[in-house]
A and B are shown apart, each in its own frame.
Chain A
Amino acid sequence: MAVTGAILVLFLVGHMTGNLKAFFGADSFNEYASFLRTMGEPLLPGRVALTIVEVVLGVAIILHMWSAISLARRAGKARPVRYAARRKAQASGYAVHTMRYGGVVILLFVIYHLLDLTFGTVNPAGWDGTPYERLVASFAPERWWVTAFYVVAVLMVGLHLRHGLWSAFQTLGLASGRSYRPLKLTAAGVSAVLVLGFLTVPVAVMIGVIK
């Protein structure tokens, strides 16, 4: 859970930074998109580096889900009879209660997101459009529900990382009593930066700053 999560967080940081290229115009954004495909050249043939990244991310997602499913199954087996009284959460924190359903929401979003912007299957600009055209077409104001889904999913990612980031340190035995405060503050900070970074681009398309 912790190791695969760390890989995915590193990806998110890179993905968010790349997205901001949209503010520097269509050329900058498209150039960045084609760089991702030719990354590593001439040392590596075209698309090899990207394929390696894609395989690592795919394996990380599958192992992350496998860990989550086995933890949920073990939890179900460990408590076959539920409490009659509504169990009140005694520990602080809202994010921790969103981990399981939030993860499912994020997975559904990632599938849609790939069909929309990577494969262009459900995108008005389609497969033939440039990445920038697909971006602008996807978050067009008349397709407000796409942006709404995006916002919900990104907020879920934020909550997921709010608990997940410090939790990874705890699971790997790297946390200690004194490091909880800085770890939780960092988790909150990184989550907030990622959420804001991811939300600016579609919102900018929606209100016409990016067109």
Chain B
Amino acid sequence: MSERAKGMNLTLKVWRQNGPQDKGRMVTYRVEDVSPDMSFLEMLDVLNERLILEGDDPIAFDHDCREGICGMCGMVINGVAHGEQVATTTCQLHMRHFEDNAVITIEPWRAAPFPVVKDLVVDRSAFDRIIQAGGFISVPAGSAPDAHSVPVKKVDADAAFDAATCIGCGACVAACPNGSASLFTAAKITHLSLLPQGQPERDSRAKAMVEQMDAEGFGGCTNTGECTAVCPKGIPLDTIARMNRDYLRASK
């Protein structure tokens, strides 16, 4: 057997909460021999395997594709949503970005509209309700139209696609000092309001989605830019300007 490089030793401080009603607390774990090539979630998998063998409850966290495109994973690592690596989801964050013997604090997204389900899992249904309020276009169902039947300017198509890359992970809310969901809502509004198919419902969409966002209890935007700085997809801040523009137009 070939000699393997010695792994990293880490101290984790993890938020543990048995259920929505539980008060919750930080629990310290020691994880040894962590490969720098592991993803952050794989490192937690290793810890969870050990916890299960020891008869403990494994740490609950959301994950699905582990390719950075589904939007399920997300935790606040050392005070930064998805960790300090720029434009990276938690599942795509690798342990080589951490120092050996590092102390890592892991917390769930903190926002009243995102109640903790268990440990690091939060309920993001509030985002679904914002989408239901207007994040769609009403079209007659039937066979798919030809892709080139409605021409779209290249710049608009590109900007709409950029906004459409939002995976709805909720990091923007977690990072915002106001707990605002403006970047998420603005990405969805921008995506549709830049395309010809989104025009008929442009005003009613902006109004309904912004009002739903406020009704869910998210905070207001004060243009701090924290959201776009942590966004794994780099959704730009000008989507929020577009949302404000559409909302003001709809309120006239």
Contacts and interface: CB of A to CB of B under 8 A. Distances in A.
Answer yes or no: do A and B interact: yes
Contacts of A96: 222-225
Given A96-B224, A170-B223, A78 B218 contact: yes
A77 B112 contact: yes
A85 B236 contact: no
Interface stretch (A54-62, A123-131, A149-157, A172-180): A172-180
Nearest to B159: A177
B220 A71 contact: yes
Chain A: interface residue count, which band? 35 or more
B82 to A, nearest CB: 10
A28 interface: no
B219 interface: yes
Residue among A71, A78, A79, A80 facing the most chain B CB atoms (10 A cut-off): A78
Interface in B21-79: 26, 76, 78-79
Interface string B201-242: 000000000000000011111111110111000001110111
B178 A83 contact: no
Given A87-B79, A99-B222, A75 B178 contact: yes
A175 B218 CA distance: 23
Contact of B238 (A81, A99, A177): A177
Given A167-B223, A170-B223, A83 B238 contact: no
Interface residues of B, number: 44
Given A85-B107, A90-B229, A90-B230, A75 B79 contact: no
Contact of A79 (B80, B179, B237): B179
A17 interface: no
B134 to A, nearest CB: 17
B223 A79 contact: no
A75 B180 CA distance: 8
B225 A84 contact: no
Nearest to B222: A71
A10 interface: no
A40 to B, nearest CB: 33
Interface string A68-92: 0011001101111111111111111
B13 interface: yes
Interface in B167-223: 175, 177-180, 217-223
A14 interface: no
Given A90-B80, A90-B175, A175-B241, A71 B248 contact: no
Given A78-B113, A91-B226, A174 B218 contact: no
A83 B110 contact: yes
B91 interface: no
Contact of B223 (A83, A163, A174): A163
A171 interface: yes
Contacts of A182: none
Nearest to A79: B179
A70 B220 CA distance: 9
Nearest to B174: A83
A93 interface: yes
Given A84-B13, A174-B241, A176-B241, A79 B112 contact: yes
Contacts of B179: 75, 78-79
Contacts of B79: 83, 85-88
15 contacts: A71-B178, A78-B178, A84-B15, A86-B79, A88-B80, A88-B84, A90-B84, A90-B226, A90-B229, A90-B230, A99-B222, A173-B245, A176-B238, A176-B242, A177-B238
The 7 closest A-B pairs by CB, nearest first: A173-B245, A78-B179, A91-B225, A85-B79, A90-B229, A78-B219, A173-B244
